[in-house]
A and B are shown apart, each in its own frame.
Chain A
Amino acid sequence: MHVRIGLLTEGGYPYVSGDARLWCDRLVRGLERHVFDVYALSRSEQQEDEGWVPLPPQISRVRTAPLWTAEDDGVVHGRRARRRFAEAYGELASVICSAGTHGARGTREAFGRGEAVGTGEALETGEARESGPILEADRFGNALYGLAELARDEGGLVGALRSEAAVHTLERACRAPGVLGAAREARVPDLLAVAAHLERALRPLSLDWYEDDGLGSVDLCHATAGGSAALPGLLAAHFHEVPLLVTEYGVPLRAHYLGASGDAPVRALLAAFHRQLTAEVYRRAACLTPGNSHARRWQERCGADRARIRTVYPGMEAARFAEVGEAPESADPHTLVWVGRVEPAKDLILLLHAFAEIRRAEPKARLRIVGAAAGDEGAAYLGHCRALAAQLFPDEADRVHTVGDNPVSFEEIGDPAVPDLAEAYASGAVVVLSSVVEGFPISLVEAMFCGRPTVSTDAGAVVEVIGGTGLVVPPRNPRALAEACVALLRAPERRARLGAAARARALELFTVEQNVAAFRGIYLEVVSHAPVRKAVLDETGALLPFGALAEAPVPGRWTEPRLGTGGLGVAGVAGVAGVAGGAGLGGAVSGRPRWAVDTPVRATGTPPAATGEPVPAGEGAR
């Protein structure tokens, strides 16, 4: 079965400098029988300038939009639109101002004209306390979709979000009874900061992606990250009931908490907004695929339904480590290797101190630190580490006449001694990881592919990656790290056993193939659970039977499989520059019986009044 997948990225895939582009690329190339429409939000002007990676033919279209800037489209709202905006924005503001205070005060007064969006002012106190979080999530969702509908109907959301009316609405929400203590303290600069941040965060609402020929035409939205990337998917689910699949290798909410700055009111309000947005994404997603159990825990914590969570480990290319992995004896038995990007979170200082202890027990031990510094901070940290290493370990020589050498060496991939990554791992008997903070430890997986035993600190997803195939010590404990390393250095058989076990585990769990296969299955499962939602009406509003064939969304593939890759797919790629809407629509129409071509109208179960206008599915349901 062919599935048309809307791949939603933020600062990601088609861009050369995007996050997780390798994973997306492998996914798209691995699932060549499906059709992908990429909807990409770019993160900076520089990213846009750097261009795209080469795209495979199964990508039929790419639409991009900047997230770093927003042109005010100059639309000035009329009276009705202004009122709609004030209602929806006021509701949003009141939810984020009062988030988490339910129960403490009983009924929160629905702010402004809340009844328009379905909050129960008539709710009794007890009832509100019972259904507090659910009601809150509903209100948030309704407000969000209210803004999205306004943007779709009238445009001009950017100007409205920047306007004084928005700040004023926020202020009233903060002064309403029963709000967070921090919100009550908000001053004018705080309000301005929050309004500006909300404007940035809600920019995807103003996009023109949600038409029938845009995200309305896909069978499944796959958001490659939570947060902003999933927002278009939420709206597609709202407008067109497209199922949403969200993959999270990091946790955007957690990143927001760690990166938040500003005064307490700003942080409180923004945290509430992001929490609500995340909860809404988790609530609406048909399936969530966290990349590790750490992300999974956060998802469960933020209200995701366990039944819809499937952990899918990221896949990595195993082939380039095969040679090293099958020749474990190539290693120097006294060498420890650390591989990674040098930054403070990796805690190389700890490693150096531990190595000092190791040297006391095993004087022949050597440590190779392989990796480049990440950013200015990383460079400074690397310099610091070099200085510390020089201080701790003076150069030493075997005999009087030979030139001395330092037992700790700092190298980069590409140096003569370390031509590639596999060589770096191959040179060591034990691979060490000393991070304080770690997401998914890629270097650990690579070491496992290479069949090297590992000693790592218990951070992030380390324990679940390593399983029982290596040693794990607590973070910030040089002595424990040293003990573990010494134990392994002294026991070659144990090293071999652990290395073989690690390689077997990695080959089973962390290959590209398992990742792609998991997503292939999940796509089909999600699509098969999604309701049949496309029905075509003729101009009188009567249902056209077989108006939308199952194959119709996959143009040029089902009738002429030989020409499939050379047909519209390639044409779409060639003409994708930003707005390749026409090709996709033409294809969709051409895949439909001839008598069904005239201005297709989507049905929502019950045929709407015969106005002949497209009716979004969500509105009818509400």
Chain B
Amino acid sequence: MSELRLDGLEARDGAEQWDGPSPSKPSLSKPGCPSRAEGAQGAASRARGGPGALSRSDAAPRSLPRSEGVPAALFPSEAAPRAQVSPGAGRVSDSAALLEGDYPETVAEAEAAGGVGFGADDEGRISPESAPASGRGGVDPVKALMHRHRELCERAVDPLEIAAGLEAYGVTDRTAARFRHRDVFSLAEEMYARVPRDAETPPERRPPPPAASGPGGGWAVLALLPGALCAAAVAGVRLTHGQPRLAVAAAGALAVALGLRVALRCGPLRAPLGTTSRNGTWTCWLIAYALLGDGLLAAGLAAGPEGPWPLATTPVLALALSCAPALWCAHLLSVRARRKLVASRGLADFADSVKPLLLGVFALYLCALVSLLAVCGKVLDEPAVSAGAVALGALLLLARLLTVHGFPHAPAVVLCTAALTETCALATVFASRLPGCSYLAVPVRTVTDAWGPGAVTALVCGIAALLLLGHATRTLTRASAHARPPGAT
């Protein structure tokens, strides 16, 4: 293997030979395979910069058919002859001279002109005589190719992927011929078959993308907006009297509604595009009822109302303030659920692990709401925690979560039913004043007598929330509900 030592000589000494086309062209016009083999060898030797003009007939052993996947060690004797090829073999060819000639010949010539081929660089050679650094013209060119495209081979899911990758790298059928293959496809098949695949070890996975920790996009600040607006509105209402008070109340309600819209639009409770949510009206209706309804109901039952009845500002203020915990809870749910999604192996597995998460998040929100209610009640000096407000908060959160995760149907129905039921309750109370219709108020009166004036809200919203909770434990534990980040199309 003395030729291999010539590696030290730089390939530069080929430079003089560019000055003109090589006169050796006629010797190249052998058709078909031998000519190709020469091209490869010319390439190999030129890359090595070998000055020697050794006999080209040494190329003969190279053109033996090679079966696929033969161990490299079967061809130790080839290494030497292949190293001894004239560098003059590969020179620029003029296809014009071959205009009457056929196509493969042109190709062969082009390749002979080519010089460095893919097989010429061999880093993965086995031959014991060779120093690793001198890896040129290896025994097993396909192995070298595989080494070069290691990542492609390991990543490939079928031979066609390797073929596509090789082509993208510039390997053509002419190149494949150098590896004794008919085309890139069969070369790729050999490469695919030779990639060591351990059936036991699963393919390595990309680490899951880091979960978006903490709020992005400033929604955390916006989450405080409805609460702040509502607090301002309540303060305004409390500090004013008469006509301005009405104006302040109306402006405050409008501001809170807009603030809520903004907060929901850009946070984790963003509804997916394309789902037209009709829940806004019913939500406003339910909140308005929480503000006005109980007082009106009580007054109606007591043959009123005479003048303005008391407003229940505590539940509304607490609900507005609870926007922030609601958004945090939704964020927590989506982040944790996606983490579990990555970790779980099967759909049932995922459902089992998400159910406690969902219930935990829900409970967390309820705790936050109850404490907000207590604080607000203390500050506003009104009756503290009411079951109706808690149930309403739970209902609204669940409805929003379901809508956000792509199940808008059930929340729409439930919210609509709840709002209509409350309206009916109110309507029956006043309708019962008509002559002969007093029986209409009996159900409401029974309920309020038993549990107090807030019982209607608590009962209606509580039942609705329970229904939605049942629905959510079935639907929000599905993997498809968490497939897309909330808000994506």
A and B interact physically = yes
Partner of A264, one of B94, B167, B183, B203: B203
Any A CB within 8 A of the CB of B206? yes
Number of A-B contacts (CB under 8 A): 189
- Residue contact B344 to A188, C-beta cutoff 8 Å: yes
- A263 and B199 in contact (CB under 8 A), knowing A188-B344, A189-B342, A468-B96? no
Instruction: Identify the closest chain A residue to B208 (Cβ).
Output: A189
A471 pairs with B164, CB closer than 8 A: no
Contact B341 A479 (CB under 8 A): no
Residue from A71, A469, A487 within 8 A of B274 (CB atoms):
A71
Judge whether A474 is part of the interface by a CB distance below 8 angstroms. yes
Q: How far is the CB of B344 from chain A (nearest CB, A)?
A: 5
Measured between alpha carbons, how far is A487 from B109 in the docked complex, in Å? 15
A20 part of interface (Cβ distance < 8 Å): no
Partner pick for A254 among B106, B111, B167, CB 8 A cutoff: B167
Contact flag A167-B164 (CB < 8 Å), given A263-B206, A474-B114, A477-B116 = no
Tell me whether A297 and B479 are in contact in the complex, defined as CB-CB below 8 angstroms, given that A71-B274, A189-B342, A475-B170 are known contacts. Answer: no
Chain A positions 18 through 49: 1 when the CB is less than 8 Å from some CB of chain B, otherwise 0: 00000000000000000000000000000000
- Chain A positions 157-202 with a Cβ under 8 Å from a chain B Cβ: 162-164, 166-168, 171, 175, 181-182, 185, 187-189, 191-192, 195-196
How far, in Å, is B209 (CB) from chain A's closest CB? Answer: 10
Instruction: Indicate if the CB atoms of A473 and B347 lie closer than 8 Å.
Output: no
Which among B76-84, B97-105, B262-270, B292-300 touches the partner chain?
B97-105
Please name all residues of chain B whose beta carbon is closer than 8 Å to the beta carbon of A480 when the two chains form the complex. 90, 92, 113-116
Given A188-B341, A192-B479, A258 contacting B164 (CB threshold 8 A): yes
Beta-carbon contact of A185 and B185 below 8 Å: no
Interface of A is mostly: helix
A280 at the interface (CB under 8 A from B): no
List the A side residues contacting B172 at CB < 8 Å.
458-459, 463
Which of the listed residues A188, A297, A436 has the most CB atoms from chain B within 10 Å of its own CB? Answer: A188
Flag if A458 contacts B110 (CB, 8 Å): yes
For residue A268, CB closer than 8 A to chain B, the reply is yes
In this complex, what residue of A is CB-closest to B14?
A479
Q: Is A583 an interface residue (CB 8 A)?
A: no
A185 to B173, CA, bound (A): 34
In the complex formed, the residue of A with least CB distance to B161 is: A257
- Chain A residues closer than 8 Å to B479, beta-carbon distance: 164, 167, 188, 191-192
Complex-state Cα separation, A303 to B341, whole angstroms = 38
Question: Complex: how many Å from CA A501 to CA B170?
Answer: 27
For B450-473 the 0/1 string (1 means CB < 8 A from A) is 000000000000000000000000
Task: Tell me which residues across on chain A come within 8 A of B344, comparing CB atoms.
Answer: 187-188
Given A163-B480, A188-B350, A473-B110, check contact A257 B95 (CB 8 Å): no
Q: Tell yes or no: B129 within 8 A of A by CB.
A: no
Q: Assess whether B165 is in contact with A257, with CB atoms less than 8 Å apart.
A: yes
Query: Given A100-B158, A258-B168, A357-B18, A192 and B98 touching (CB < 8 A)?
Result: no
Q: What is the CB-to-nearest-CB distance from A76 to chain B, in angstroms, rounded to a whole number?
A: 9
Given contacts A188-B350, A472-B106, contact A437 B170 (CB under 8 A): yes
In the assembled complex, A553 has its CB within 8 A of some CB on chain B: no
Are B95 and A472 touching (Cβ within 8 A)?
A: yes
Report whether A268 and B18 are in contact in the complex, using a CB–CB cutoff of 8 Å. Answer: no
Instruction: Determine if B218 is an interface residue (Cβ-Cβ < 8 Å).
Output: no
Docked pose: A469 CA to B342 CA in angstroms: 57
Q: Are B161 and A192 in contact (CB under 8 A)?
A: no
Of listed A182, A187, A191, A457, residue having the most chain B CB within 10 A: A187
Q: With A168-B347, A182-B203, A480-B114 in contact, do A471 and B160 touch (Cβ < 8 Å)?
A: no
**Given contacts A480-B115, A483-B113, A264 and B157 within 8 Å (CB-CB):** yes
> Would you call A164 and B164 a contact (CB within 8 A)?
no
The reply to whether A494 and B157 form a contact with Cβ atoms under 8 Å apart is no
- Measured between alpha carbons, how far is A268 from B165 in the docked complex, in Å? 15
Contact with A along B339-351 (1 / 0, CB 8 A): 0011011110110
B205 at the interface (CB under 8 A from A): yes
B445 on the interface (CB 8 Å rule)?
A: no
Q: Is B117 an interface residue (CB 8 A)?
A: yes
How many whole Å from B273's CB to the nearest CB in chain A?
Answer: 9
A372 within 8 A of B: no
A470 contacts partner chain B, Cβ-Cβ < 8 Å: yes
The reply to whether B21 and A487 contact each other, CB–CB distance below 8 Å, is yes
Taking each of A301, A437, A483, which has the highest tally of chain B beta carbons within 10 Å of its own beta carbon? A483
In the complex, A182→B197 CA distance in Å? 11
* Chain A 473-491 interface mask (CB, 8 Å, partner B; 1/0): 1111101101110110010
A267 beta carbon closer than 8 Å to chain B: yes
Contact of A477 among B115, B169, B174, B205 (CB under 8 A): B115
- Take A297-B183, A475-B170 as given contacts and tell me if A501 and B92 are in contact as well, using a CB distance cutoff of 8 Å: no
Cross-chain contact A271 with B203 (CB below 8 angstroms): no
Decide yes or no whether B489 CB sits under 8 A from chain A. yes
Task: Flag if B96 contacts A437 (CB, 8 Å).
Answer: no
List which A410-468 residues lie within 8 A (CB) of chain B: 436-437, 457-459, 463-464, 466-468
B435 → A minimal CB distance (Å) = 46
Contact of A271 among B14, B90, B157, B183 (CB under 8 A): B157
B90 CB contacts on chain A under 8 angstroms: 480
Does B336 make an interface contact (CB < 8 A)?
Answer: no
Choose from B113, B161, B346 the contact partner of A171 (Cβ within 8 Å).
B346
**Chain A residue at smallest Cβ distance from B116:** A477
Residue in A191, A267, A484 with the greatest tally of chain B CB atoms within 10 Å: A484
B283 contacts partner chain A, Cβ-Cβ < 8 Å: no
Q: Which residues of B contact A357 (CB under 8 A)?
A: 15, 18
B112-169 contacts to A (CB < 8 Å): 113-117, 155, 157-158, 160-161, 164-165, 167-169
In whole angstroms, how far apart are the Cα atoms of A467 and B15 in the complex? Answer: 29
Task: Out of A469, A474, A494, name the residue touching B116 (CB < 8 Å).
Answer: A474
Chain A residues with CB under 8 Å of B197's CB are 181
Given contacts A264-B157, A275-B158, contact A473 B113 (CB under 8 A): yes
> Quick check: is A388 within 8 A (CB to CB) of the other chain?
no
Q: Tell me, yes or no, whether B107 is within 8 Å of chain A by CB.
A: yes
Known A71-B274, A257-B160, A263-B206; contact A188-B18, beta-carbon cutoff 8 A: no
Complex CA distance for A437 and B101, rounded to whole angstroms: 27
Is the CB of B93 closer than 8 A to any CB of chain A? yes
Cβ B480 vs Cβ A471 within 8 A: no
A285 at interface by CB-CB < 8 Å: no
- Report whether A469 and B113 are in contact in the complex, using a CB–CB cutoff of 8 Å: no
Contact of B478 (CB < 8 Å), options: A164, A257, A464: A164
CB distance from A136 to the nearest CB of B (A): 14
Given contacts A181-B199, A472-B95, A472-B110, contact A267 B157 (CB under 8 A): yes
| Docked pose: A472 CA to B15 CA in angstroms | 20
B48 on interface, CB distance cutoff 8 Å: no
Bound Cα distance A175, B489 (Å): 30
* B91 close to chain A: CB less than 8 A: yes
Nearest CB in chain B: distance from A172 CB, A: 9
Q: Is B54 interfacial (CB 8 A cutoff)?
A: no
Other than the given A181-B197, A188-B345, A474-B115, 20 more pairs (CB < 8 A) read A163-B480, A164-B478, A164-B481, A171-B347, A188-B347, A188-B349, A191-B347, A257-B165, A268-B157, A301-B160, A357-B15, A463-B103, A463-B172, A471-B92, A471-B110, A472-B95, A473-B92, A480-B115, A480-B116, A501-B99
Q: Can you give 13 contacting A-B residue pairs, CB < 8 Å? A: A72-B274, A164-B481, A188-B479, A195-B480, A254-B167, A257-B161, A264-B157, A463-B172, A471-B93, A474-B110, A477-B116, A480-B113, A480-B115
- Which residues of B are at the interface with A, using a C-beta cutoff of 8 A? 14-15, 18-21, 90-96, 98-99, 101, 103, 106-107, 110-111, 113-117, 155, 157-158, 160-161, 164-165, 167-170, 172-175, 183, 185, 197, 199, 202-203, 205-206, 208, 274, 341-342, 344-347, 349-350, 478-481, 483-484, 489
A residues with CB within 8 A of B: 69, 71-72, 100, 162-164, 166-168, 171, 175, 181-182, 185, 187-189, 191-192, 195-196, 253-254, 257-258, 260, 263-264, 267-268, 271-272, 275, 297, 301, 357, 360-361, 436-437, 457-459, 463-464, 466-477, 479-480, 482-484, 486-487, 490, 494, 497-498, 501
